[in-house]
Structure 1
Amino acid sequence: MCQDTGTAVFIVELGQDCHITGGTLTDAINEGVRKGYGEGYLRSSIVHDPLNRKNTSDNTPAIIHLHLVEGDELTIRMTAKGGGAENMSDLRMLKPSDGIEGIKKYILDVVRVAGPNACPPLVVGIGIGGNFERCAYLAKKSLFRPIGIHHSDPEIAALEKELISEINRLGIGPQGMGGTTTALDVKIEVEACHIAALPVAVNLNCHASRHQEITI
């Protein structure tokens, strides 16, 4: 049990033939967050301004990633992303010459430095490619994939399995108490990138991996 009610993060796929009436989709999502967190008596965890730290008191605004897709359906995926693990996440612009070994070393370093502070056992989300902001999104997106479901590309899936074994050999264990279960799973999403770049982002998720999805 954890007091952190997280940041409401949404990945939304809006069919180009789906029409929203009576207001904006963003407003509707935020109203759902406001109502859900309120009726659930969940802690108010969002501040309006990161400088003055005034609480919004209703966990809005949500972070919404909106994608236009074919069809007439609306798919909404939501996660309540905990702040402790988010604080221990990281992004680095590696050199292409660092290669896969450099990527693995960086990921292991991030988990090692996080230690108990990200509330393991973890789900480790990794974004490789894109650019600075896209790489971070890929890492976040990977966390929406259910535990135990590996990447469709066999090479990426093999890297996921290799990394979870290496992470669990770090010996951090649940809540940093030691053991062989530091991570429950590793998720990787990849995307095209510039010839001079190798962006890698590591988005850590605590053991409270909370997700929901609906298609309308």
Structure 2
Amino acid sequence: MWRYEKRLQYPVNISQTNPKMAQFIISQYGGPDGEAAAALRYLSQRYAMPYEKGKAVLNDVGTEELGHFEIIGAIVHQLTRNLTPQEIEDSGFGPYYIDHTTGVWPQAAGGIPLNACEFQSKGDPITDLFEDLAAEQKARSTYDNILRVVKDPEVCDPIRFLREREIIHFQRFGEVLRDVQDRLSSRNFYAFNPAFDKPQARSGKTDS
């Protein structure tokens, strides 16, 4: 489906460890608005998308989100490698360390593990695309929150890149939504059941 070049979409080169910072950023690895959930959402929704342009965008963005997942994993890894026991204890990283050592594991900043119940693949293009637009904005606002509390320029640089890509994805899904709406002859947002809005025929029966 794609060619993997074995390099990050955007470079990550962090020289100073910071496990407390890693606990914030890991939310974009396995949190409710993170990159793993995004990739699963779009790559699942593409199967039911009836139009080729929409299917292509879902496939492209979903694949790119896997690359973003990899970038976040690299950030978390570089922020937590070679920690001393004292650094682990002082930073509050201990609970995570006890369960995962310094392995990168998909969870939210609050410790809740990745949960597929936090996103939808509904099978209706309008429903799915509105979810996708909201998802990109939620991811963008999460990156905004990270940039408010993280000041290390080596970390902020790739985070800013990822934030910019969320904005581009929002724009792409907006284009697809307009294309899908233009294709619906009924213009009532139902791709497969326009009869829902038609008056129902009377049976001719009367109440006794």
TM-score, length basis structure 1: 0.24
- Structure with bigger gyration radius: 2
TM-score, length basis structure 2: 0.24
More helix by share: 2
